[in-house]
Chains A and B, each alone.
Chain A
Amino acid sequence: SQQGEEDPQALSIQEGENATMNCSYKTSINNLQWYRQNSGRGLVHLILIRSNEREKHSGRLRVTLDTSKKSSSLLITASRAADTASYFCATDDPYSGAGSYQLTFGKGTKLSVIP
């Protein structure tokens, strides 16, 4: 099965700065999603980008997708201390019986925003 790989594994920035995280994957996808996870908690869905889309915005979030390079990036602008969390990309498997719902998660980027 494919796996997303995020980089960097850890990122520490000052409040107000932008944070960029990257994700690469290996096989075809219908869509790619980004999730946030606060320490020891569940997942929060941030944004979904379809394979025919190149860029998507949601508030302070900007996601890009390059299917030719099999990569995506998540940009968080004007970061806040509350953005401190782990961020995961997740890709679906178009060939699984569960359609776009069976997800493969990347290893995640641990973001620390220093006040």
Chain B
Amino acid sequence: GAVVSQHPSWVICKSGTSVKIECRSLDFQATTMFWYRQFPKQSLMLMATSNEGSKATYEQGVEKDKFLINHASLTLSTLTVTSAHPEDSSFYICSAPPHYQPGQETQYFGPGTRLLVL
């Protein structure tokens, strides 16, 4: 089946640094990818919709200048957490629906990236 990968799977960084997380669709093209954030023992919350070749759409309350999204190709979207602080520590998960597949209602989730900001 289709696979979505994320890199890195784990990152620990100092407060104030920027962290880039990659989301790749390995065997299919994805014009749209979604970024979710999950705090411990909580549900996934949609942060933004990443669109290939255009600006991302952010959910209410998500700072676009802090969470930079780049979707430069049909198989790669990146999320950069700029000037990370401890409150940004979370589990970040991306997902991607396959492109050009009418009737395909499911999408594929990456394995997640756990970010710990010290």
The residues of A with any CB-CB pair to B shorter than 8 Å are 1, 30-31, 33, 35, 40-43, 45, 48, 50, 88, 92, 97-98, 100-108
Query: Can you give 27 A-B contacts (C-beta < 8 A)?
Result: A33-B106, A35-B109, A40-B91, A40-B114, A42-B93, A42-B109, A42-B110, A45-B106, A45-B109, A48-B105, A48-B106, A50-B105, A88-B43, A88-B44, A92-B105, A98-B49, A101-B34, A101-B95, A101-B97, A102-B34, A102-B49, A103-B107, A104-B46, A105-B44, A105-B45, A107-B42, A108-B43
The smallest beta-carbon distance between B110 and chain A, in angstroms, is 6
Q: Which of B45, B95, B105, B112 contacts A41 (CB 8 A)?
A: B112
- Using A98-B49, A103-B34, A105-B36 as known contacts, list a sample of 15 further A-B pairs with CB atoms less than 8 Å apart, ordered by residue number in A: A31-B105, A40-B91, A42-B109, A42-B110, A42-B112, A43-B109, A45-B106, A88-B43, A97-B57, A101-B32, A102-B46, A103-B107, A105-B45, A106-B43, A108-B43
- Which of B81-118 touch A at CB < 8 Å? 91, 93, 95, 97, 105-107, 109-112, 114
Q: Which residues of B contact A35 (CB under 8 A)?
A: 109
Q: Which one of B91, B107, B110 has the greatest number of beta carbons of chain A within 10 Å?
A: B107
Q: Which residues of B contact A31 (CB under 8 A)?
A: 105
Q: Which residues of B contact A50 (CB under 8 A)?
A: 105
Give A40 to B109 CA distance when docked, in angstroms. 14
**Total interface residues in chain B, CB < 8 Å:** 23
Give A45 to B45 CA distance when docked, in angstroms. 17
Task: Please judge, given known A-B contacts A31-B105, A42-B93, whether A103 and B112 are in contact too, CB under 8 Å.
Answer: no
Q: Which residues of A contact B59 (CB under 8 A)?
A: 1
Q: Which residues of A contact B114 (CB under 8 A)?
A: 40
Give A30 to B43 CA distance when docked, in angstroms. 21
Give A92 to B43 CA distance when docked, in angstroms. 15
The smallest beta-carbon distance between A96 and chain B, in angstroms, is 8
Is B34 a contact partner of A107 (Cβ separation < 8 A)? no
Q: Which residues of B contact A48 (CB under 8 A)?
A: 105-106
Task: Please judge, given known A-B contacts A102-B34, A102-B49, whether A43 and B105 are in contact too, CB under 8 Å.
Answer: no
